[in-house]
Amino acid sequence: MNTAASNHILHLDLDAFFASVEQLDHPEWRGRPVIVGAAPDQRGVVSTCSYEARRFGVHSAMPSRTAFRLCPQGIFVPGRYERYAELSAQVMGVLRAFTPCVQPASIDEAFLDLSHVHGLPADPVETARQLKERIRATTGLTASVGVASNMFLAKLASDLHKPDGLTVVPVDPAEVQAFLAPLPVGKIWGVGPKTAQVLAKYSLRRIGDLQKTSVEALRRMLGNTSGEQIKALAHGWDNRAVQPEEAQEKSISHEETFPVDCRDPEQVRMALWRLAEVVGQRLRQAGLLAGTATVKLRYQDFRTVSRQMPIRPRSQADRVLLHCAGALWSQFSPGEPVRLVGFGVSALCAPGQEPVPGPQQQLLFADEPGVAMPAQEQRRNACLDQAVDRLRQQLGADALRRGWWPPAQEPGKHEVAGPDGPQK
C-alpha cells in the first residue's frame, strides 16, 4: 500500500489530555483512575478521565456523583486550566517545528498538512512516528495520530486505536471505502444519536450501508444538506483544506439574521444567548480570554446599534459571556423589529498574558457568580464548558440545550454595575 502518494494530512489528538497532565505531574497517580472535574460531593460533571477510569464506565460529561458510584477508588481532581494551556502551547510548538500549516482544533488536538514541506521523510507515517516521539520527549505526553488524504479521514483514524495509536488510512478510493465500511455510522461527523436513530429505522447502521444508499434516499431521510454531506463522508470525500492559524485573532463574533424581522424580544434574547455560547466555544478552542463584550442589533430600517462593556477579569466562560450578553441586551430599546443580532468579544489574550488592571478598574457584576465567582466555582464552570464543547463537537452544535440561562430582563430596565456604579 502506497501511503505517501497523497496521505499528507495528519490529525493529532493528545490522549486523555487533562487526566494525563495530572498523572504526569503526580507520578504516584500513574496507572490509577484519575477523574478531572467536580468533586463527587458537589453538583458538577466529569471533564475528562484517564483510561483506567474509563474501564469502570466513567466518561466525559457524566455527573461526578455517578462517576463516584462507578469508580469509588477514583482520584477526583479539579481542572488546572492554566497548566493544560501551558502544555498545549508546548505541543503546538512541536507541531509547528514540523510544518507551518497547523490548524488547532481544540486545546488537545490539531490538524497538520505536510504537503510542500521540505526536509521531512518521504513517508508521512515516519513523520507521524517522529512527531509522537518528539511530543513524548518534550512534554511526557502521548498522542494518537491519524494519517490520511483529508481531514475527515485523519480525524476518524486518530480515534480508532487510542491511546498512543498511529492509524493510516489507505490512499486508493476502493480501499478507503473498504476501510470505512464496517465502522458504525456514528463515526461520521454530524451523525449523533438522533441521526443514528433515524438511519437505524432504515437498517442503516454501518458506514457501508450508507455507501450503498443513494444520495436521493439520504436527502429524503435527513434533508438535502445533511443527506449530501453524510453521503460524501461515507465514501471518504472531504475537500476542506487545513487552515493554518494566523496571528492571534483580534476579535471573535457571530451574527444571526432572522428570516423575517423579529418582533418578539424573547426570541431575539434566546438567539443572543446561543451566539454567546458559540463565541465562548471558539474562545476556548483558541485558548484565549476576552476583555470586551459587544452586542449588535440591526433593525427593520437597517439602522445598526451596538453596545459594549469590559469583562473584568478576562474570561472565556459561557456563564460570564451570557451575563455580559444579558447586561448589554438590557440597554436596548424594546419593541422595535430586529433584523439581525450579533455577539462578539475583543481585547483577546492568552491566559497569563493579561494586561495589569488599572487602579480604577473594578469587577463587573461583583455580586454575581458569573464573573467574580469563587475559584472553586470557576473550575466547576470550566469543567462544564469543556464537557459541553466535547459533546457538541461529537454530536453536533444543537445536541445540547443549556438548562440554565440568565434571568430574563426587559430591555431598558436592568441595572448594570459598571466602574462608575449602577446605571440605568
CA–CA separation, 350 vs 293, rounded Å? 16
pLDDT at residue 392, as a whole number: 63
CA–CA separation, 72 vs 14, rounded Å? 26
Task: Answer for the pair 13, 3: CB distance below 8 angstroms, yes or no.
Answer: no
Reply yes or no on whether 109 is catalytic: yes
3-state SS, residue 71: coil
Residue 77 is placed in which grid cell? 481532581
pLDDT at residue 357, as a whole number: 46
Strand ranges (DSSP E) for 61-118?
Answer: 75-77, 102-106, 109-113
CA–CA separation, 288 vs 305, rounded Å? 26
In the block, cell 470550566 appears at: 382
Task: Return averaged pLDDT per consecutive 10 residues of the chain, 424 residues in all.
Answer: 66 96 97 94 86 96 93 94 86 92 87 86 91 96 97 96 96 96 93 91 96 95 90 94 70 83 88 92 86 90 85 88 90 84 89 52 37 59 72 61 50 34 31
In the block, cell 489530555 appears at: 17
Class of residue 228 by CB neighbours under 10 A (exposed 0-12, middle 13-18, buried 19+) = middle
pTM of the predicted structure, to 2 decimals = 0.62
pLDDT at residue 422, as a whole number: 31
Phi–psi pair at 274, nearest 5 degrees: -60, -40
pLDDT at residue 361, as a whole number: 36
Which residue is catalytic, options 52, 109, 277, 336?
109
pLDDT at residue 249, as a whole number: 61
Strands 338-346 and 290-299: antiparallel
CA–CA separation, 186 vs 190, rounded Å? 8
Strand ranges (DSSP E) for 234-321?
Answer: 251-262, 290-299, 304-315
Domains of the chain: 1-169 (3.30.70.270), 175-234 (1.10.150.20), 251-423 (3.30.1490.100)
CA–CA separation, 237 vs 261, rounded Å? 38
